[in-house]
């Protein structure tokens, strides 16, 4: 199986998935929260982004978003 590294760990390629929607993610092309991977949209934005605003503003820029 192909190995990818993300969040300081090695993953089997198909095992790097969003914690909420289970979508397969790419190394460095996703967000994280409490050490768990999330797709940027819609999951991370809906769960942890500022309410009623853009994900990139209101919390100090791209804080918590990897690969930005």
Is residue 59 assigned to a domain?
A: no
In a domain, 62, yes or no: no
Range of 31's domain? 3-48
Is residue 66 one of the residues assigned to a domain?
A: no
Q: What is the CATH number of the domain that holds 18?
A: 2.10.110.10
21: in domain:
yes
- SS3 for the chain is CCEEEECCEEEEHHHCECCCCCCECCCCCCEEECCEEECHHHHHHHHHCCCCCCCCCCCCCCCCECCC
Model pTM? 0.68
One pLDDT digit (tens) per residue for the chain, 68 residues: 689 999 999 999 999 999 999 999 998 889 999 999 999 989 999 999 887 555 444 444 444 444 44
Question: Which pLDDT score is estimated for 23?
Answer: 96
What pLDDT does residue 6 have?
92
What pLDDT is stored for residue 27 in this prediction? 85
C-alpha–C-alpha distance, residues 8 and 21, integer Å: 22
**In total, how many domains does the chain have?**
1
End-to-end CA distance of the chain: 27
């Amino acid at each position: 199986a192909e190995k990818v590294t993300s969040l300081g760990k090695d993953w089997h390629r198909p095992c790097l998935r969003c914690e909420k929607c289970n979508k397969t993610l790419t190394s460095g092309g996703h967000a994280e929260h409490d050490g768990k991977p999330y797709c940027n949209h819609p999951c991370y934005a809906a769960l942890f982004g500022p309410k009623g605003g853009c994900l990139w503003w209101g919390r100090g820029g791209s804080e918590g978003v990897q690969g930005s």
